[in-house]
Amino acid sequence: MAVKIKDVTNYLESIAPRAYQESYDNSGLLVGDAQAGVTGILITLDCTEAVVQEAIDSGCNLVVAHHPIVFKGLKKFTGSSYVERTVMLAIRHDIALYAIHTNLDNVHTGVNRMIADKIGLTNLRILAPRPDTLQKLVTFIPEADTEKVLAALHEAGAGQIGEYKNCSFRVEGTGTFLPTAAANPHISQAHQQEQVREIRAEVIFPTHRRSDLLAALRKNHPYEEVAYYITPLINENQEVGAGMIGQLATPIEPLAFLQGLKSSMNLKMLRHTAILPKNIQKVAICGGAGSFLLQDAIRAEADVLVTADFKYHEFFDADGRIVIADIGHYESEVFTKELLQEVLMKKFHTFANIFSKTVTNPISYL
């Protein structure tokens, strides 16, 4: 069976759910028919006219980009901007355009993990975990059906806490009910008060999996009417959030670290604040514009923050407490193409998954 565009996008969103994108973002399928078959995928950081033309020439009808070509609504298509021209060219040639942006930034296996691997960091954790992505399900299950129901809930995405799967909490108790004449009870009969030995089961799950979880609960629970309640949690989700922090195997002198950073990230230049009189070991990172994480990095006692797009006056905020290393937006995220190819090759082998050869960096260095 031919792979459809929706098969590719659904797979990518199982790894980086769109629910994890920032409110300003526009990830997802931006142009194209989700039901169309895939002839090839062109992987790029940015989507431009040249990238779409490369897809046409390469026989690829799906462009997977990190940055969305459309951030704001387009009110006209006259070719007056590169965004309009890119979208128009894609539509004329049936090229689908897909973006996987801040949702890929915000998962622990995403953009920042790629930077961490390039730098050689270990003991990784999210720098600023998000507190709005988890909920708790409590339900009541007849004792004999507990394992079946919980297995279904785990399969639907519940019970994952860090590197631990199938997590739950269970308490034994007694459930009571009286079926009416219109009921079709699994246990007991109409107008008969019943007491049943039940298990109160609790599981944590990602908020965006709520509908999947409830569907699995209703399908696998033996009762005609399933008793449950869901509670939003303010717990920080250690799997989702902005930035990442980790450690070098051994401390290194600051200038040597910056020189190594320039080499490992293939930089032509970088901007940094004053060198501090202590070695670098704890490193905070954020692909793209990460100045908003400076205070988080300082609170985490990072020795350096590696990111991009710091403004002049923002460099002063380092205030002798941390080294800021601004490596450039494109440079901090260009290796995302490798990440996307690695992810796609694990699932799809029947067509080409190729890097775009087009250099989309809008900045040149003299």
208 labeled binding residue: no
67 labeled binding residue: yes
Contact predicate 241/128, CB 8 Å: yes
d(CA 21, CA 344): 20
d(CA 328, CA 306): 10
Backbone CA torsion sign across 117, 118, 120, 123: negative
d(CA 14, CA 62): 18
Alpha helices in the chain (DSSP H): 5-15, 49-58, 82-92, 102-105, 111-119, 146-155, 210-220, 254-264, 294-299, 329-333, 336-347
Q: Is 315 exposed, middle or buried (0-12, 13-18, 19+ CB in 10 A)?
A: middle
Q: Could you count the other beta carbons within 10 Å of the beta carbon of residue 325?
A: 26
What three-state secondary structure class fits 344?
A: helix
Residue 107 tokens, joined: 């998962």
- What are the φ and ψ backbone dihedral angles of 66, each rounded to 5 degrees? -80, -50
333 labeled binding residue: yes
User: What's the half-sphere exposure (Cβ side, CA atoms, 13 Å) at 338?
Assistant: 12
Contact predicate 61/54, CB 8 Å: no
Per DSSP, the residues of 130-172 read ESSSEEEEEEEEEGGGHHHHHHHHHHTT-S-BTTB-S--EEEE
Binding-site residues from annotation = 66-67, 105, 329, 333
Query: Residues annotated as binding site for a divalent metal cation?
Result: 66-67, 105, 329, 333
